[in-house]
Chain A
Amino acid sequence: MAHAALSIKNLHVSYYGNEAVKEVSLTVNSGNLVGIIGPNGAGKSTFLKAMLNLIPRDKGEIRILGKTVKEVRKKIAYVPQRNDIDWDFPITVLDAVLIGTYPNLKLFKRPKKKDKEWAMECLRRVGMEEFSKRQIGELSGGQQQRVFLARALAQKAELFFLDEPFVGVDVTSEETIVRILKELCSQGKTVIVVHHDLSKANDYFNQLILLNKELIGFGSVQEVFQTEIIEKAYQGQFAFMKEIGV
């Protein structure tokens, strides 16, 4: 039997005794484009990081492709929030994408010509090849996000985790990113995206994880995108929800 792409059992995370994520259990199969949505402070990024063992968890079991995170790290690509990056760092666009090949390079080995060509190919896929020699800070927000997506592509991963990839991103970039994420899913990869904006959630994803510290809803977009379920997650912010027509 094929293993689920991602299975989480009773995940619990706290910061100094304050609960951030409570008892979340779910299973995602390969080939899905999954949005993690929820109000501000719902612990979406925390949840994402906890899944990847980037922050300690109190309890819970996580299996990716049937293995522990530690065993499959090289099959995971992670794209951080844009404001976690120092955009003045002395690195060119191509070199930033080239970092995506590092996980598959042995210790002490440098990227070779074919790695550089592959990085260039990934840049081409996101439509950024003409910017390859620029310093990363010279790009717009959307272009920066596309470069980081190219870096994730360069990792040849099975699972992609993206933290708020659509914040401060122009329309063209957003369309490019969504198109590529959908392509990845049609190739059987699994994509998990933290997303803050409900209005587009049903166009982008085929599954949703609705989170407000605990798991409020999980399933196909049709199942989760119900007024009463959304209301439960967003509580006080519901007046605003009605305005955008949920």
Chain B
Amino acid sequence: MAFIEAVMQYGFLQKALLTSIMVGVICGVVGCFIILRGMALMGDAISHAVLPGVAISYMFGINFFFGAVFSGVITAIAIGFVTQNSRIKHDTSIGIMFTAAFAAGIIIITMLKSSTDLYHILFGNVLAVRASDMWITLGIGVVILAAVYLFYKELLVTSFDETMGAAYGLPVRLIHYFLMTLLTMGTVASLQTVGIVLVVAMLITPAAAAYLLTDRLWVMIFLASGIGILSSVIGLYFSFTYNLASGATIVMAATAIFILTFLFSPKHGWLWRMLKVRKKKASLV
């Protein structure tokens, strides 16, 4: 258990561990709403779209949090605008807007900085997390958890039956952009741990595994966070021990958990379904 010893010994590893645990929780919680609203692609888009914001923040020497939220939300609005005002379908609009934002981000960053920085932003480098980054992640985590706790009713209604929500007077458009803002903040929090390219996996994979394990939203949220934490810790272990990119190992850990639930989930798992079908067929013979 060299890993545990190393965690006790090295401050950088403690920071990495704490940050990745927080990221697991944040992404798990936000991810539940993302997958239930059928917005996985949107999650991917917004996470890529923070890149120009991050780049511009570097340029002006401000905290990248502000730039990232700004460019994420602007992209979400642009996607919505194109969908609502033309015959272009939603997924096409998403594809156009996020690649544009991402491309712009790459250009700005390569003009400003070395390619190493770009590499770290894209793929994450959790072992280089500074104390200030950790505090930002904690702050984002507190804001997101508080928001989901306080607006749970509204998020539940608009995810389940948006028209009913609108019918009784909820500002459904505003709630959509509110969730997009939470999504952007979650992305920023995950930037150093898993990197922009793989954030979407942290958002949807643990949530999807949780979705296969329960029929209650609040249980799903807790399970998704738990699976997020587990993936982060396992991923960090492999990243540290075998000197691999942390984003990649964390995502692989999440995927492994997803595959297990997909196969063996008690009610919605593949194995269970197969057994049920077989039993049914046998009873008909």
A92 engages B216 (CB within 8 Å):
yes
Query: Which chain B residues border A151 with CB–CB below 8 Å?
Result: 164
- Enumerate chain B residues within 8 angstroms of A84, measured Cβ to Cβ: 161, 163
Taking CB atoms, residues of chain A closer than 8 Å to B219 are 90
* B214, B215, B217: residue with the most chain A Cβ atoms closer than 10 Å: B215
Nearest chain-A residue to B169 (Cβ)? A73
Asked if A173 CB lies within 8 Å of chain B CBs, one says no
Within 8 A of B (CB), among A76-123: 76-78, 80, 84-86, 89-92, 95-96, 99, 102-103, 105, 108, 110
Residues of chain A contacted by B220 (CB below 8 angstroms):
90
Give the distance in Å from the alpha carbon of A149 to the alpha carbon of B216 in the complex. Answer: 21
Residues of B within 8 A of A90 (CB): 36, 211, 214-217, 219-220
Interface residue? A8 (CB, 8 A): no
Q: Is the CB of A102 within 8 A of B153?
A: yes
Chain A residues with CB under 8 A of B38: 86
In whole angstroms, how far apart are the Cα atoms of A69 and B152 in the complex? 25
- Among B36, B168, B214, B217, contact of A103 (Cβ-Cβ < 8 Å): B168
Residues of A within 8 A of B168 (CB): 73-74, 76, 78, 102-103, 155
B175 contacts chain A at the CB level, 8 A cutoff: no
For residue A176, CB closer than 8 A to chain B, the reply is no
Q: A73-B167, A90-B36 are in contact. Are A99 and B157 (CB under 8 A)?
A: yes
How many angstroms between the C-alpha atoms of A49 and B162 in the bound complex? 13
Q: CA of A84 to CA of B150 in the docked complex: distance in angstroms?
A: 27
> Counting CB contacts under 8 A, is B178 at the interface?
no
- The residues in B between 162 and 212 inclusive whose CB is less than 8 angstroms from any CB of A are 163-164, 166-169, 211
| A74–B169 CB distance below 8 A | yes
A244 touches B (CB below 8 Å): no
19 other A-B residue contacts (CB within 8 Å) besides A76-B168, A90-B211, A90-B217: A70-B169, A73-B167, A73-B169, A78-B163, A84-B163, A85-B160, A85-B161, A89-B159, A89-B217, A90-B219, A90-B220, A91-B215, A91-B216, A99-B161, A99-B164, A103-B168, A103-B169, A135-B215, A151-B164
**Residues of chain A at the chain B interface (Cβ within 8 Å):** 49, 52, 54, 70, 73-74, 76-78, 80, 84-86, 89-92, 95-96, 99, 102-103, 105, 108, 110, 135, 151, 155, 161
